[in-house]
Chain A
Amino acid sequence: MTTGVDLGVPATQAIRSDEDVVRVRQLVRTTAVAVRLSLVDQTKLVTAASELARNTLIYGGGGSAEVSTVEDGRRRGVRILFADEGPGIPDLDLALTDGYTTGGGLGLGLSGARRLVDDFDIQTAVGEGTRITVTKWSR
């Protein structure tokens, strides 16, 4: 499970189109700069957010990204919740395997995004949707 307390009001970006994926990237970038993640960590988090936002759009049929800053006493971080009410993921282990795709992509979105963040939590139910929470902490 994820730890840490929320700071401030989270910003939410709807994900309904290609352009919204770009907006999610920009929102995450701004927040990552505000909590002073290193340049490499900013880049990793924005890249992960781009993959997950695209998944929300393509596989989840659209949804939202909620971006917040968190703190666990020692360090600050950025947390993003991607939520959709799409078909859900029937076989999570398979979906998290490098190279597996049902959408004609490279199959690196979910597995790659997990490698790029510090905390990764996924909840999915067939027919109900998927919620993915990722956190990147400052060092």
Chain B
Amino acid sequence: MERVPILKIGDILLVSIQVDMSDQTAIQLQEDLAERIVATSCHGVIIDITALDIVDSFVGRMLSTIASISKVLDAETVVVGMRPAVAITLVELGLSLNGIRTALNVERGMELIAASRADEPDEGADDEDTETTATA
């Protein structure tokens, strides 16, 4: 069985799916990613599907499941690079990709993750004070 590699870039895990995945490969990726999120404490996962020429209901469900698992493990998932023909087919198939955030490419996906981390209120309180006094 083929295995999809997972790369760590800074605080983000990047998965670029380059093979026509069997269902077993997809399930393996789901498990591998969950383990890597915990092992690396990364807060973002980008799944690049530029090379995928179809997304059927099984792969669609895998993407939704990965997004849900990541969320529970405090990581944000963004799916990037979906081809236009794949998007058209997904909609006609009736798949809504619930809970999945998408971006056009890896760069925008990274911006999206950075922006959503910056929005989180947990550690920003003190910084705000110092910033206003500094500019005054």
Residues of A within 8 A of B (CB): 18-19, 21-22, 25-26, 29, 39-40, 42-44, 46-47, 50-51, 54, 98, 105-106, 108-109, 111-113, 115-116
Contact = CB atoms under 8 A, between A and B. Distances in A.
B121 to A, nearest CB: 35
Given A54-B23, A106-B61, 20 more contacts: A18-B23, A18-B24, A19-B22, A22-B22, A26-B20, A29-B53, A40-B88, A43-B86, A43-B89, A46-B54, A47-B54, A47-B89, A105-B61, A108-B57, A108-B93, A111-B94, A112-B92, A113-B93, A115-B92, A116-B92
A106 B89 contact: no
Contacts of A47: 54-56, 89, 93
Contacts of B88: 40, 43-44
A106 B21 CA distance: 18
Dominant secondary structure at the B interface: helix
Contacts of A51: 56-57, 93
Interface of B: 20-24, 53-58, 60-61, 83-86, 88-89, 92-95
A105 B24 CA distance: 15
B54 A25 contact: yes
Contacts, number: 71
A25 B20 contact: yes
A22 B60 contact: no
A108 B60 CA distance: 11
A44 B95 CA distance: 13
A96 B100 CA distance: 26
12 contacts: A18-B24, A21-B22, A21-B23, A39-B85, A43-B85, A44-B88, A47-B55, A47-B56, A50-B54, A105-B57, A108-B94, A112-B57
B56 A50 contact: yes
A116 B93 contact: yes
Contacts of B21: 22
A43 B54 CA distance: 6
B23 A40 contact: no
Given A21-B23, A25-B20, A50-B56, A40 B95 contact: no
B86 A106 contact: no
A54 B20 contact: no
B94 A98 contact: yes
A2 to B, nearest CB: 21
